A and B are shown apart, each in its own frame.
Chain A
Amino acid sequence: NAGVMQNPRHLVRRRGQEARLRCSPMKGHSHVYWYRQLPEEGLKFMVYLQKENIIDESGMPKERFSAEFPKEGPSILRIQQVVRGDSAAYFCASSPQGFTDTQYFGPGTRLTVL
């Protein structure tokens, strides 16, 4: 059973471009969480999604950031018009159901904005 997969692992964008980060949860998992880790800091919750639904986006910046988890395919975190402050590691985690404990993390996507 493959773990949580994220791609790309490294992404470089210039200011003003768009960044698309993908997350494929573990097989059988229908709940996805996105977290952001700034350099030398802990992870911060961004958004929680189930298939085709955003359940909690309380950690998402109000502008430029969006997330989706379609019926088919991976979850996508989209950052429009990136700025240098968006440079961070973005981690996706999945769980088999929402009201459970263990979240399994992917290897992360490291975004660098030039």
Chain B
Amino acid sequence: QQQVKQSPQSLIVQKGGISIINCAYENTAFDYFPWYQQFPGKGPALLIAIRPDVSEKKEGRFTISFNKSAKQFSLHIMDSQPGDSATYFCAASMIKAAGNKLTFGGGTRVLVKP
């Protein structure tokens, strides 16, 4: 019940295209859904996050769509750039539970071709 499933495992997109990454969860107690970006040899960096009381959140070229009834959420990267090439992780947590430990998806390696 604690799992977060992420797809696809890898993604190749042309510069200017849209990258779409999907995640699904089981535990309805999750109430915080962040996305992290990780470059090789670096730690994950928070990209954007959403709470279940909204269905969409946009920050620049990055948009999270959230479907509470389907227990799914997705990341859309608009106008993808070569600098977006990285591994993206979705995650989920229960903020009100002790400690807000993050449960991560398996990651999606995105390659943006120039």
From B6, B43, B101, contact of A42 by CB (8 A): B6
From B36, B42, B100, B106, contact of A99 by CB (8 A): B100
**Would you give the 0/1 interface string for B23-60, flagging 1 where the beta carbon is closer than 8 Å to chain A?**
00000000010101000011111100100000000000
* Most A Cβ at <10 Å: residue of B6, B45, B89, B100: B100
Q: Does A106 contact B (CB under 8 A)?
A: yes
Shortest CB-to-CB span from B66 to chain A, Å, is 15
Q: Does A72 contact B (CB under 8 A)?
A: no
User: Is the Cβ of B100 less than 8 Å from the Cβ of A103?
Assistant: yes
User: Is the Cβ of A101 less than 8 Å from the Cβ of B43?
Assistant: no
| Interchain Cβ contacts under 8 Å between A and B, 28 examples | A31-B99, A33-B99, A33-B101, A35-B102, A42-B105, A42-B106, A43-B102, A43-B104, A44-B104, A48-B101, A55-B99, A58-B101, A91-B43, A98-B99, A99-B95, A99-B96, A100-B95, A100-B100, A101-B49, A101-B95, A101-B100, A103-B100, A104-B46, A105-B44, A105-B45, A106-B43, A107-B41, A108-B43
Residue on A with the closest CB to B103? A45
User: Is the Cβ of B32 less than 8 Å from the Cβ of A101?
Assistant: yes
Residues in chain A within 8 A of chain B (CB atoms): 4, 31, 33, 35, 41-45, 48, 55-56, 58-59, 91, 95, 98-108
| B96: chain A residues within 8 A (beta carbon) | 99
- Number of residues of chain B lying within 8 A (CB) of chain A: 24
Q: Does B98 contact A (CB under 8 A)?
A: yes
Shortest CB-to-CB span from B35 to chain A, Å, is 12
A107 and B40 alpha carbons, distance in the complex (Å): 10
A44 and B34 alpha carbons, distance in the complex (Å): 15
